[in-house]
A and B are shown apart, each in its own frame.
Chain A
């Protein structure tokens, strides 16, 4: 039997909720795992309709636009030399020190741009996640330090640069290995990283919909810190 919340889930998938109903539904979706399951079930039921669309080749100019939008130049296949240099670099050593001592980062008065770091905390407590950036190689490294398990929820990491919409970096799980992403960033801008608690599988909207668990501002690191 389809009950009212299930029919709301169906209309959500269909796209026929009006903006106000949709907003209210998204709030509930963030809090109710059953609702998320109902949405998934309706997606699977109706998906064949969408997938039955005839293929139409997009214009050739579309891919370069996408590439530019994500900030990735064409990548050399299987080239992990930059990653190995990263792992061996002084920045990694500084981060290890930070993890073992648990100290918050304080910038020096004359910072030498060796890299940047954000320590994500709940109101300035012990960092739960560290996010480091190497501007020379344009590599972002995300290291969960102390993430409690979240039943039925997913933790999603966002970049909030001033003046632009939040951008999803990826999902975090307890015990995961560090996530490394190629990402052009301007560390001179005010960059805040935040982790939100989302429905299982992540935000359905491309924006944070749940509460922010930890956040922190990216600060430049001086050499030898």
Chain B
């Protein structure tokens, strides 16, 4: 029995196929929930962000274009944006908690990050100065804002932007070759 690919499920979802959308959810929700929890450690907030994410997937699936990237990358971007929006709103209310900074776990599965891309990124991150690497990881994995990054690293907010730019520029030069 051959399974529909994520791309096929996404295209079908864009045509209003609710059964395909359910299958897409079953195949991707654990990955997206895991991503969101690293940004929103509070389960209630994480569930709200999950709901928001999949509603956006349902409504925007017709706009997915394979030329723009893999389906899971597209889904992950939606989930991450929903989680960050939520996190920024919560910290504006003063409810946000900083997630503990853990090293990014190198987990790959059939539908996860490609091993080659992950290895390249890990290698290039490894070449950055430690402070810069931590900034990028905390921002991307945990969704820290500039203020939170400053707080986490004990640095003034003004220097955070400069450091981020230097780190990102080095990362790009390393990845793009």
What is the interface of chain A, defined by CB distance below 8 A to chain B? 1-2, 6-7, 10-11, 14-16, 18-19, 40, 43-59, 62-63, 65-67, 69-70, 72-77, 154, 156, 167-171, 179-182, 200-202, 204-206
Please judge, given known A-B contacts A48-B114, A51-B112, A72-B18, whether A56 and B34 are in contact too, CB under 8 Å: yes
Q: Are B51 and A48 in contact (CB under 8 A)?
A: no
Whole-angstrom distance between the Cβ of B51 and the nearest chain A Cβ = 5
Q: How far is the CA of A116 from the CA of B117 in the complex (A)?
A: 50
CB of B35, distance to nearest CB on chain A (Å): 4
Q: Which of B16, B17, B60, B77 lies in contact with A168, CB distance below 8 A?
A: B60
Task: Select one of A1, A46, A53, A73 contacting B34, CB under 8 A.
Answer: A53
Known: A10-B168, A168-B56. 18 other contacts (CB 8 A): A2-B168, A2-B172, A6-B172, A11-B161, A15-B80, A16-B161, A18-B146, A48-B117, A49-B113, A49-B140, A51-B112, A52-B112, A53-B105, A63-B29, A171-B63, A179-B16, A179-B62, A206-B60
Please give me the residue from chain B that is nearest to A182 by CB atom.
Answer: B16
Task: Report the bound CA distance from A70 to B24 in whole Å.
Answer: 15
29 example contacts (A-B, Cβ-Cβ < 8 A) are as follows A1-B169, A2-B165, A2-B168, A2-B173, A7-B168, A11-B161, A14-B140, A16-B144, A16-B145, A16-B160, A48-B117, A49-B121, A49-B140, A50-B141, A51-B76, A53-B31, A53-B105, A53-B141, A55-B33, A65-B47, A66-B51, A70-B55, A77-B19, A170-B59, A179-B15, A180-B16, A201-B65, A206-B56, A206-B81
